[in-house]
């Protein structure tokens, strides 16, 4: 086949794949937000068929040959070579799976969500345990088809964050433990920050009224985005101008929906800012999970918990809740947003204790895949680790092992990227603050200009560069976790007068 | 191929088709309700690809042979034979279209919606005219591939309502004109019913609060349905337990969203009530457009505009709007819901003048396809016909030719089924009222028991019987439009003391 025809064939294939990907994304968003529960089994069965169709298209041997040649073709342009390299890595592992097993696994994953939701509602891990067991067994089987001889959990970690491994994360978490556990112990013993006003009654309709103002501040509008509600907040995207986020309102917690929205809109903004010439291509995704999480957590923690961020917004929040916040100063409010208290639920956790929630999940996943842990009685192990690392007693499975959606769709190896992302963010912010006056821009309502820095140095590239290349290009040096640990130490030493 | 293998192949094909159909339905619902406008072009292009994929699957020649044999196979069971007959009719016409033209047409239809929406927003028909022209030209081309020698508009009418034709509808509308035009003229001259209280300020959030009560009364709940908002209310369905409706709230009209909801939930209930053994098969749809419309209009007009229906609901509505309705009696309220006043917008039209709105569209469509009308200046023709038949002056395109979505997706031949459906409904109600005490059941809140009669006599069959078979089985005789015209004459003679 001539070069031109090959390229046309490759591009047509990319577009076709993106059509199926779009359908599956919208079906997933629909399922998680609005779809009537009674239709779940019917829909899941058909989503599995569509996944199977996409699998057949993706694993077409003729396309694999084209990709194999393109990935090192000196005549191909850089974008094409990079995209072929990324597809090659994915397809090398995907095409060895028998299609019927792939479809069965897709179906299992869809059903896993329903089982988890039911178990969580009833706060009963035993209802989810057989599903989790099966998800792990089937994951092992699926990974078993690969040619790699590396331990399965190593491969999983590398899938979510290219270049990482058990060795990498062990070192990272050792550092985290070494510096944060003593710091948390000091914070726990210090004079506590008053947060009680955050947990009064905050009617959901009024929270929604303020949400409109927050979304305006974040420059998230209906021309390119949409916000819905769901049990577990998430972000998904179709293309540059179609990025969806969800949130969850708690009637006795004013900070939860706001902070989770700043977080999710951070993900959405990353996708929205990727060079639109990559739309529909593999290059148009954020480059890795930790890089994505670095952007959402940068927005949530490094911007959304600062006084500058709230300078113009807080008076509007007070207006919505005069009884609850009218007499609370902005300093007291911002201090409360940053208070660190070891707690039960990861998504509600503060910035300081958050990485320990991840450490617990990392240790459990590692144990499940090296055989030192099994799914039976895993809720007990969970509770023991929460006692060990965070000193808290888990009262039930809903707030314990069933709190997160991730294992229900077999996303093993995903959690560690959350902690790594927080650490990436610190390094970006360190450089950004040298380039622009972040606090001044935030206080003046120019959130978009802060995003502009990120767009230029991180977002625009999508997958065109590796995570390591993005980090070095943006900050001038390789990833260094000390920026993160220094930041936390400095911040909490000041906040708690240690 | 052995009989058993053939059947398995056929059933696998049905399930695969239903997976694509589901994806396209959910993508359409999403597009019409929540999807960010900026992503429209990206999504439309990919929806066209998926439509093309489904087209290839549907028109597989091997499957066509199987269907051709199954449709008359005496060894096949009745359900299989009937489904094969229905598929055969569709595919005979579909498989002759070249795939690239089919995909281009799907794309045109998707873009048509966007063009229409924009033109409607700006109330400027000239922005939509080129698209409409192209939609008609391309429709003619697509129909031109068929072997049938019947006029294209005849074929279109038969597609939406099997067994109908220009001749059939000419006769039907002649009768409608003959009896309703004089009746409307009398009503216009009679003492008018007071409807002013329906058009005060009705805050949308309070309308939504009442909507929850109305949906409960209609037995429409989240286990099998979901209600959203959209510019043009519609119903779509995935399976027995996933039926979606949309509505539109007008802040100066309390009846609009309520009546459109009763209407759309009527469609949804039909789908929900079809024997679930047909789920995912061609038999699981309502049998025809007019039959579907008969059920929605039966709910909206023959039930939703009666005093019995409002007996328990009206006090709740008054509670929500004490200032607007506190001093309005239920009789005055129900009379106002039934008032007939020639008006501009079909979806807001009363029961009596409604069929003339349809007549206008029917005459325009007939003219567009027999060449006596063209798209140029069609808004003027529209306005002239509204003057001629309804005596009203159309002030702008938004409330004139651009009011309906149907032509934007090339649904030519669909409108007439709306009037026919209203007429079907009268005949069903005539029989139903002999079997059960409809008013008593409605007044006691047993709306589900009235639906129970319809489920038994109409809904459960889906496409298993023809529309004509359903009518005869349910009412003991073939369709007779006099039931409809008698009903309207009787009702409006009493309401206006003629």
Burial string for A88-123 (b: 16+ CB within 10 Å, else e) reads beebebbbebeeeebbebbbbbbbbbbbbbebbeee
Q: Quick one: closest CA in A to B23, which residue? A: A23
Q: Which helix (DSSP H) or strand (DSSP E) does residue B245 occupy? A: strand B242-247
The pLDDT, as a whole number, for residue B488 is: 98
- Residue A265 distance to chain B (closest CA, Å): 14
Distance CA A483, CA A469 (A): 18
Gyration radius from chain A CA atoms: 23
Instruction: Of A441, A253, A224, A210, give the one whose Cα is nearest residue A347.
Output: A253
Q: Is A14 on the interface with B (CB under 8 A)?
A: no
The answer to whether A154 and A166 are in contact (CB under 8 A) is yes
Task: Please answer yes or no on whether B43 and A239 come within 8 Å at the CB atom.
Answer: yes
Chain A residues touching residue B222 (CB < 8 angstroms):
36-37
The pLDDT, as a whole number, for residue B455 is: 98
Which whole number is the average pLDDT over A302-323? 98
Torsion angle of C-alpha atoms B460, B463, B466, B469, degrees rounded to 10: -10
Q: Is B224 on the interface with A (CB under 8 A)?
A: yes
Residue B264 is among the residues annotated as catalytic for this protein = yes
The answer to whether A99 and A57 are in contact (CB under 8 A) is no
Q: Which of A129, A240, A264, A351 is catalytic?
A: A264
Task: Please answer yes or no on whether B241 and A39 come within 8 Å at the CB atom.
Answer: yes
pLDDT exceeds cutoff 60 at A34: yes
Smallest Cβ distance to B224: which of A36, A240, A279?
A36
* Helix axes B354-370 and B378-385, enclosed angle (nearest 10): 140
Q: How confident is the model at residue B20 (pLDDT cuts 50, 70, 90)?
A: very high
Three-class SS state of B474: helix
Between the alpha carbon of residue A155 and those of residues A63, A161, A216, the distances in Å are: 24, 10, 41
The pLDDT, as a whole number, for residue B2 is: 57
Instruction: Provide CB contacts within 8 A for A418, sequence distance 6+.
Output: A290, A293, A297, A354, A358
pLDDT exceeds cutoff 90 at B448: yes
Q: How confident is the model at residue A73 (pLDDT cuts 50, 70, 90)?
A: very high
Which whole number is the average pLDDT over A185-202? 97
Smallest Cβ distance to B238: which of A42, A53, A280?
A42
Q: Is A100 on the interface with B (CB under 8 A)?
A: no
Q: How confident is the model at residue A111 (pLDDT cuts 50, 70, 90)?
A: confident
The answer to whether B419 and B359 are in contact (CB under 8 A) is yes
pLDDT exceeds cutoff 60 at A403: yes
The pLDDT, as a whole number, for residue A232 is: 81
Task: Please answer yes or no on whether A240 and B27 come within 8 Å at the CB atom.
Answer: no
Distance CA A418, CA A409 (A): 17
Q: How confident is the model at residue B250 (pLDDT cuts 50, 70, 90)?
A: very high
Task: Pick the residue of A25, A46, A221, A280 with the most B CBs within 10 A to test the interface with B by mutation.
Answer: A46
Task: Pick the residue of B12, B15, B17, B23 with the most A CBs within 10 A to test the interface with A by mutation.
Answer: B23
Which whole number is the average pLDDT over B83-91? 95
Distance CA B130, CA B136 (A): 10
The answer to whether B400 and B382 are in contact (CB under 8 A) is yes
Task: Please answer yes or no on whether B243 and A36 come within 8 Å at the CB atom.
Answer: yes
Q: Is B228 on the interface with A (CB under 8 A)?
A: yes
The answer to whether B446 and B141 are in contact (CB under 8 A) is no
Secondary structure (DSSP) of B123-188: T-GGGTHHHHHHHHHHHHHHHHTSS--S-HHHHHHHHHSTT--HHHHHHHHHHHHHHHHHHHHHHH
Strand bridging mode B225-229 / B242-247: parallel
Which whole number is the average pLDDT over B245-273? 96
Task: Please answer yes or no on whether A43 and B240 come within 8 Å at the CB atom.
Answer: no
- Residue A38 distance to chain B (closest CA, Å): 5
Helices (H) and strands (E) in chain B, counts: 22, 3
Q: Is B373 on the interface with A (CB under 8 A)?
A: no
Backbone φ and ψ of B286, nearest 5°: -55, 150
Chain A residues touching residue B224 (CB < 8 angstroms):
36, 38-39
Question: What average pLDDT does the structure give for chain B?
Answer: 95
Task: Please answer yes or no on whether A239 and B18 come within 8 Å at the CB atom.
Answer: no
pLDDT exceeds cutoff 80 at A446: yes
The pLDDT, as a whole number, for residue B114 is: 87
Chain B residues touching residue A31 (CB < 8 angstroms):
none
Listed range (A65-69, A346-350, B219-223) with the worst mean pLDDT: A346-350
Interface list for B 280-319 with A (CB within 8 A):
280
Task: Please answer yes or no on whether B49 and A279 come within 8 Å at the CB atom.
Answer: no
The answer to whether B312 and B306 are in contact (CB under 8 A) is no
Q: Is A56 on the interface with B (CB under 8 A)?
A: no
Which whole number is the average pLDDT over A91-119? 91
Burial string for A399-436 (b: 16+ CB within 10 Å, else e) reads bbbbbbbbbbbbbbbbbbbbbbbbbbbbbbbbbbeeee
The pLDDT, as a whole number, for residue B32 is: 87
Which whole number is the average pLDDT over A206-230? 95
Chain A residues touching residue B46 (CB < 8 angstroms):
15, 18-19, 22-23, 280
Q: Is A27 on the interface with B (CB under 8 A)?
A: yes
Question: What average pLDDT does the structure give for chain A?
Answer: 95
Interface size between A and B, measured as CB pairs under 8 A: 126
Q: Which of B129, B161, B240, B264 is catalytic?
A: B264
pLDDT exceeds cutoff 90 at B291: yes
Q: Which segments within A202-287 are labelled E, that is strand?
A: 225-229, 235-239, 242-247
pLDDT exceeds cutoff 80 at A1: no
Q: Which helix (DSSP H) or strand (DSSP E) does residue A273 occupy? A: helix A254-273
Query: Residue B271 has which token pair?
Result: 């789908």
Percent of chain A whose pLDDT exceeds 90: 93
Which whole number is the average pLDDT over A115-133? 96
Distance CA B494, CA B95 (A): 53
Distance CA A290, CA A158 (A): 11
Between the alpha carbon of residue A28 and those of residues A32, A112, B51, the distances in Å are: 6, 13, 19
Percent of chain A whose pLDDT exceeds 70: 100
Instruction: Of A236, A299, A287, give the one whose Cα is nearest residue A429.
Output: A299
Sheet bearing B235-239, strands edge to edge: B225-229, B242-247, B235-239
The pLDDT, as a whole number, for residue A4 is: 87
pLDDT exceeds cutoff 80 at B231: no
Question: Which residue did the predictor score with more confidence, B32 or A351?
Answer: A351
Q: Is B498 on the interface with A (CB under 8 A)?
A: no
Secondary structure (DSSP) of B40-92: HHHHHHHHHHHHHHHHHHHT-HHHHHHHHHHTT-TTS-HHHHHHHHHHHHHHH
Let me know how long chain A is: 498
Q: Quick one: closest CA in A to B227, which residue? A: A34
Task: Please answer yes or no on whether B38 and A280 come within 8 Å at the CB atom.
Answer: no
The pLDDT, as a whole number, for residue A2 is: 57
């Amino acid at each position: 086949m001539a070069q031109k025809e090959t390229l046309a064939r490759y591009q047509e294939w990319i577009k076709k794949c993106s059509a199926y990907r779009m359908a599956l994304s919208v079906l997933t968003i629909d399922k998680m937000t609005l779809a009537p529960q009674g239709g779940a089994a019917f829909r899941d069965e058909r989503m599995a068929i569509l996944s199977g169709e996409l699998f057949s298209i993706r694993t077409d041997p003729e396309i694999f040959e084209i990709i194999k040649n393109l990935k090192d073709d000196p005549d191909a342009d850089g974008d094409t070579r990079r995209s072929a390299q990324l597809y090659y890595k994915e397809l090398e592992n995907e095409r060895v799976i028998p299609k019927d097993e792939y479809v069965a696994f897709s179906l299992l994953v869809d059903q896993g969500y329903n089982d988890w939701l039911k178990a969580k509602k009833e706060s009963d891990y035993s209802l989810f345990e057989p599903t989790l067991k099966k998800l792990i067994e089937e994951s092992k089987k699926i990974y078993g088809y690969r040619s790699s001889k590396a331990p399965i959990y190593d491969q999983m970690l590398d899938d979510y964050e290219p270049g990482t491994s058990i060795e990498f994360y062990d070192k990272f978490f050792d550092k985290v433990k070494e510096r944060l556990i003593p710091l948390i112990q000091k914070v726990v013993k210090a004079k506590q920050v008053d947060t009680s006003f955050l947990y009064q009654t905050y009617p959901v309709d009024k929270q929604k009224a303020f949400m409109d103002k927050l979304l305006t501040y974040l420059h998230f509008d209906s021309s390119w985005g949409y916000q819905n509600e769901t049990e577990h907040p998430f972000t998904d995207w179709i293309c540059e101008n179609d990025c969806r986020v969800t949130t969850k309102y708690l009637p006795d917690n004013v900070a939860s929906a706001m902070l989770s929205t700043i977080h999710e809109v951070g993900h959405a903004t990353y996708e929205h800012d990727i060079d639109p010439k990559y739309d529909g291509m593999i290059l148009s995704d954020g480059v890795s999970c930790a890089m994505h999480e670095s952007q959402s957590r940068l927005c949530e923690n490094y911007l959304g918990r600062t006084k500058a961020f709230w300078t113009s917004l807080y008076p509007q929040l007070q207006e919505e809740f005069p009884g609850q916040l009218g007499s609370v100063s902005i300093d007291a409010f911002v201090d409360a947003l940053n208070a660190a208290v070891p707690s039960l639920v990861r998504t509600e956790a503060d910035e300081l204790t958050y990485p320990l929630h991840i450490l617990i999940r990392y240790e459990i996943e590692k144990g499940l895949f090296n055989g030192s842990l099994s799914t039976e009685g895993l809720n007990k192990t969970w509770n023991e680790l929460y006692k060990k690392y965070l000193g808290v007693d888990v009262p039930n499975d809903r707030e314990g092992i069933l709190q997160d959606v991730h294992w229900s769709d077999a996303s093993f190896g995903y959690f560690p990227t959350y902690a790594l992302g927080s650490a990436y963010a610190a390094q970006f912010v360190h450089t950004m603050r040298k380039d622009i006056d972040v606090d001044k821009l935030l206080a003046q309502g120019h959130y978009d200009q802060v995003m502009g820095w990120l767009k230029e140095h991180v977002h625009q590239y999508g997958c065109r560069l590796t995570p390591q290349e993005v980090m070095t290009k943006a900050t001038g040096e390789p990833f260094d976790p000390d920026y993160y640990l220094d930041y936390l130490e400095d911040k909490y030493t000041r906040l708690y007068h240690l």
